[in-house]
Amino acid sequence: MNDNLPGDPQMADSDFDAAVSDPSAFFENPAAIVADATMTIEQKRRFLEGWAQDITARQRAAQEGMVPENPQLADNDAALLKYVMTSIDDLQTAPESSSVTGRQSWQRWRLTSKN
C-alpha cells in the first residue's frame, strides 16, 4: 500500500480509489475522516459513502444467510453504519480545516493497528 495519504497531492488517483474502497485501513473511525484537513469535503464524502456501502453489503449478506468473514465486525455493523451516516451529516457543518491533520490521524491508526 502506498504510504501517501488520501488527501496528499502526490497520491495517484488509482491509489486514492483503492484507499476509498477500504477506508477502515486508513482511518480509525468516521470522525477521523471528517477531521482530516488534507482532504476536500467531496473526498471525505467518498470515503464515508464507501464505508457505508461496505457495511450495507455485509448486512445484506448476513440477512441472506452468509457467514461473515469477521463475526466481530458484523456484530458492530448497525452501530458503525449509524456512526458513518452521522459523520456524512456532519460534513455539512465541518470546517475546511482542522487541528488534527490527516497525516496525524492516519499515522496514529497505522501505529495502533500494528499492535
In this structure, how many other beta carbons lie within 10 angstroms of the beta carbon of residue 107?
A: 13
Write down the mean pLDDT value for the chain: 75
Distance CA 29, CA 25 (A): 10
Q: What is the pLDDT of residues 50-85, one digit of tens each?
A: 999 989 998 898 888 887 777 677 678 889 999 999
Asked whether the beta carbons of 25 and 51 are under 8 A apart, the reply is no
Q: What is the pLDDT of residues 6-25, one digit of tens each?
A: 555 455 667 777 788 888 88
What pTM does this model have? 0.66
Asked whether the beta carbons of 31 and 85 are under 8 A apart, the reply is no
Residue 65 pLDDT: 86
Percent of the chain with pLDDT over 70: 66
